Amino acid sequence: MLYNYTYPATSYDSLIVGVIVIISTVVLAYLFLRRPEERLKGRKLLLSASLFIELLFAALLMLFDQNLMQYGTLHWGVLLVYFFLIGVFGALSIAKKRTVYPRILALFSVLLVVAIIADAAFGLPFTQFYSPGGGWSYLFGFGASGTSSYFYTSLYVTGLLLFAVIDFIISLTLSGLKRRK
């Protein structure tokens, strides 16, 4: 007798999150298991990976979140400016020896974190979705019923927030490191 087994629908959501966690773990291990004289190079590599993932989340949010484009055009424009500024100052932080670029990158990263948390706390005040207390459920609801949120919107916002914090920490450590010859 043959069994007719149907495979469940493939969900790539957990795969995306799993790959990000695995890559982050490998890069962090690479960073901290190196010799002290190679840590600067390792931190720059970690910053490169973190910036790439953060810029990827920002690009996905700008391209595929229709609500952001239609109802939050101010947020979309600010995210576009942030995307270019982080790209420029991230590249300068990695390529140049001056410590001012990582500090500027850290400043922009912390401003984004504060802006996302304030936006959620005040209920998305500069959008047509404004509702007191509704910002948390929309930005971090992950598609739960009644939140009017989409899973991918929450995934992209959470990823952007997480990697902005990581960029902030790495940028601060880069601005404090002295080059050894």
Which residue type sits at 39? Answer: R
Compute the distance between CA of residue 83 and CA of residue 68 in angstroms, rounded to an integer. Answer: 15
Using the predicted structure, report yes or no on whether residue 117 has a pLDDT greater than 70.
Answer: yes
Q: Which two tokens stand for residue 155?
A: 């995934």
> DSSP code of 7?
P
Using the predicted structure, report yes or no on whether residue 7 has a pLDDT greater than 60.
Answer: no
- The model carries a pTM of 0.75
Q: What is the pLDDT of residues 57-100, one digit of tens each?
A: 999 889 888 888 888 888 899 999 999 999 999 999 999 888 89
Choice between 60 and 151, residue whose per-residue pLDDT is larger: 60
Q: What is the pLDDT of residue 83?
A: 96
39, 163 in Cβ contact below 8 A?
no
Using the predicted structure, report yes or no on whether residue 33 has a pLDDT greater than 90.
Answer: no
- Distance of CA 81 to CAs 69, 89, 108, 124, Å? 14, 12, 11, 19
Considering only 44-48, 73-77, 87-91, 130-134, which range has the smallest mean pLDDT? 130-134
Q: What is the pLDDT of residue 124?
A: 81
Mean per-residue pLDDT of the chain: 78
Whole-angstrom distance between the N-terminal and C-terminal Cα of the chain? 73
Give the residue among 86, 84, 58 at the shortest CA–CA distance from 155. 58
Compute the distance between CA of residue 16 and CA of residue 39 in angstroms, rounded to an integer. Answer: 28
Choice between 21 and 174, residue whose per-residue pLDDT is larger: 174
State the residue for tokens 């990158």.
105
Compute the distance between CA of residue 136 and CA of residue 143 in angstroms, rounded to an integer. Answer: 12
Compute the distance between CA of residue 46 and CA of residue 31 in angstroms, rounded to an integer. Answer: 7
Q: Where are the domains of the chain?
A: 13-176
Length of the chain in terms of residues written: 181
Using the predicted structure, report yes or no on whether residue 171 has a pLDDT greater than 50.
Answer: yes
- Distance of CA 93 to CAs 30, 47, 164, 172, Å? 20, 9, 15, 11
